[in-house]
Chains A and B, each alone.
Chain A
Amino acid sequence: MAILEQTRTPDRVAEKIKKVQELYADAPEVGRVALKNGLEALKHELAAATGRESAGRIGARQGKVSELTAIVPLATGGGKRIRGLLDALEGNFRGADLVGTLHDMRFVLLDNDTKLLFCTTYDGEWDAYIDDFVTKIPNSMDILFCNCEGWPGIHSPKVKDYIVNTQHTADAWYVASPNLTVAETRRLEKVGAAVDELLDKIG
């Protein structure tokens, strides 16, 4: 398969470059100049693109790592409560460690506190990930998301549909180490510490 891809690559890249040039014919000056200057780099990029995959029901995935991006309307007073709650926690969530498949997570209040942007980076498939939240930190989920308009409750059979309806799949998704899950990264941290200790003892 990989070989097939490669033999077809030069033509496809040329074709794609042509498409990009057409696309940018009416772009602002800054964009047109940049395209001209960056054409060589872009050729490499286009040739190498392996493509983002789906994380399952919704969302994008690179290798083993997926993205969840949800924009949720807040209920009356919800913004105030979320702000107060996160402020009291000093913006930190020890509980998220329990999920075990979560790389990062952010809560951002938008449009005068009328919407919540919730973004995470996680391992693997969408359904399994949501199940992890439900089984491992259900209370934390309800405390945060009860502030959103129409939140059915984490134990409701409708909760997955609710999330799907507020989620937007990323059009581009980059991960520096797409083959490392959270568990693998933690294991490597331990290996690294052990190697350092070993070298200390030898040296």
Chain B
Amino acid sequence: MATQAATGAGQDHSVEKKIQQFRELFADAPEIGKKALENALHELRSQTSDLPPAIESAGRVGARLGKVSELTIIVPLAPGGAKRLRAFLRLLRGNLSQGANKVGTLHTMRFVFFDNDTRLLFATAYDGDWDTYIDDFVAKIPDYLDVIDSAWDGWPGIRSPGAKDYLVKHQITAEGWYVAYPDLTVAEILRLQRIGKAVDEFLDKVG
């Protein structure tokens, strides 16, 4: 108990310090921001004192919350790459589920063109560690990946020893990362869906 109380006091202290940090940070913010900060300080107080699980590293690069990690890659597109990739994705009607389901650890994935088709954002939410995840891509859908990534400027090919370095070089770790259910992997969600279905069937029979 004594230890807990001591930790509690330490927390209060660090919360006040953080609140102070917020105020300093926003001293030269636009009026809208300063006003919102004052309104929200109460909220922030409880957010910082509840000590939610902190963001960790997903490994070589990227952020992770609980079991779920983020990958955010921005690449320059090779000449003609945007046109080819856009047309390819259009033929698939923007649906990559057949290939992506095979990876098994992928929650979501998006491809977004920007800066007049000179750059591409590739962002995913996935389970666990960066290296394992990339290995999953390499092992399970290598060709699929090369068909897409050959639009990227300087892409060495997924089987190249330089592939991971290329990805690391273009990945940007998120400063903030939120996941609604950080303890659920893709596999666990699929399992829960089966359980949910079985329970419904069971209740139907009982009822």
Contacts and interface: CB of A to CB of B under 8 A. Distances in A.
B167 interface: no
A52 B109 CA distance: 13
B100 interface: yes
A185 B147 contact: no
A105 B178 contact: yes
Contacts of A11: none
Residues of B in contact with A, size category: 35 or more
A86 B108 contact: no
B25 interface: yes
B87 A91 contact: no
A119 B177 CA distance: 10
Contacts of B33: 81, 142-143, 146-147
Contacts of B118: none
Nearest to A16: B91
Given A88-B18, A174-B106, A60 B98 contact: no
Given A92-B52, A110-B172, A31 B147 contact: yes
Contact of B91 (A46, A80, A105): A46
Given A38-B144, A146-B36, A51 B112 contact: no
A88 B54 CA distance: 11
B90 interface: yes
Interface residues of A, number: 95
A1 interface: no
Contact of A191 (B36, B184, B192): B192
B90 to A, nearest CB: 7
A119 B110 contact: yes
Contacts of A27: 80, 84, 150-151
A168 interface: yes
B75 to A, nearest CB: 12
A105 to B, nearest CB: 4
A114 interface: no
Contacts of A143: 26, 33, 36-37, 40
Given A93-B176, A95-B47, A106-B63, 4 more contacts: A62-B95, A103-B179, A151-B30, A169-B112
Interface of B: 18, 21-22, 25-26, 28-30, 32-33, 35-37, 39-40, 43-44, 46-48, 50, 52-55, 63, 65, 68, 70, 72, 74, 78, 80, 84-101, 106-114, 121, 123, 125, 141-147, 149-151, 155-157, 172-181, 184, 186, 189-193, 195-196, 199
Interface of A: 16, 19-20, 23-24, 26-28, 30-35, 37-38, 41-42, 44-46, 48-52, 60, 62, 65, 67, 69, 71, 75, 77, 80-97, 102-110, 117, 119, 121, 138-143, 146-147, 151, 153-154, 168-177, 180, 182, 185-189, 191-192, 195
